[in-house]
């Protein structure tokens, strides 16, 4: 099983985890949320927080989901990929998290693919029909 660590500004990660639990109807083991607040010591504290989460999760592989690529917490987490058993996926959203949870028994490459696909497929755009076109259709 892959251990999941969610890094996000404020309580976004814990709220997404709560929503996923509601949707799937169960609480999840081996998932940790680390809230990020703008602080001058984030860069000093976060590596220890991630390491402590990994110890608590005690898994052979870890996937760190990060809300914002390029952020301080992303940059800190990226350093953990040197361990060889840690992967990172950015753009944390609910469809991504649902995929991570339901496919976490898969190998890490498949998990990354399913999860990123879920995140992308969860973003849809709907444009209003122009008024002139509506009128012509209804006439």
pLDDT in tens, 21-37: 999 998 889 999 999 99
DSSP summary character for residue 10: T
Confidence of residue 13 (pLDDT cuts 50, 70, 90): very high
Residue linked to tokens 């010591």: 41
Say what the pLDDT of residue 14 is.
Answer: 95
All structural domains of the chain, each given as residue ranges with its CATH number in brackets, are 2-123 (3.40.50.510)
The secondary structure of 37-56 as a DSSP string is ---TTHHHHHHHHHHHHHHH
Q: Which residues, in sequence order, are bridge partners of residue 86?
A: 62
Q: Given this model, what pLDDT does residue 124 score?
A: 87
pLDDT band per the 50, 70, 90 thresholds, residue 128 = confident
pLDDT digits 0-9 by tens, 49-108: 999 999 999 999 999 999 999 999 999 999 999 988 999 999 999 999 999 999 988 888
Alpha carbons 8 and 88: distance in angstroms, whole number: 13
CA–CA separation, 52 and 66 (whole Å)? 17
Which pairs count as long-range contacts for 22-26, CB under 8 Å and 24+ apart, including other chains?
23/98, 24/98, 24/101, 24/102
Kind and range of the H or E run holding 58: none
Counting DSSP H helices and E strands in the chain, the numbers are: 6, 4
In a 10 Å sphere around its CB, with 0-12 CB exposed, 13-18 middle and 19+ buried, how is residue 131 labelled?
A: exposed
β-pair type (61-66, 2-9): parallel
Question: For residue 136, what pLDDT band results from cuts at 50, 70 and 90?
Answer: low
The confidence score (pLDDT) of residue 132 equals 63
pLDDT attached to residue 1: 87
């Amino acid at each position: 099983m892959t251990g999941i660590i969610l890094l996000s500004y404020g309580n976004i990660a814990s709220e997404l985890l709560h929503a996923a639990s509601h949707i799937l109807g169960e609480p999840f083991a081996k998932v940790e949320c680390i809230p990020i607040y703008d602080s001058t010591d984030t860069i000093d504290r976060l590596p220890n927080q991630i390491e402590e989460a990994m110890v608590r999760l005690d898994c052979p592989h870890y996937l760190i989901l990060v809300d914002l690529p390029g952020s301080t917490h992303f940059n800190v987490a990226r350093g953990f990929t040197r361990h060889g058993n840690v992967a990172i996926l950015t753009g944390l959203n609910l469809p991504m998290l649902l995929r991570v949870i339901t496919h976490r028994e898969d190998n890490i490459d498949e998990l990354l693919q399913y999860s990123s696909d879920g995140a992308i497929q969860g973003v849809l755009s709907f444009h209003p029909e122009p008024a002139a076109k509506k009128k012509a259709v209804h006439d």
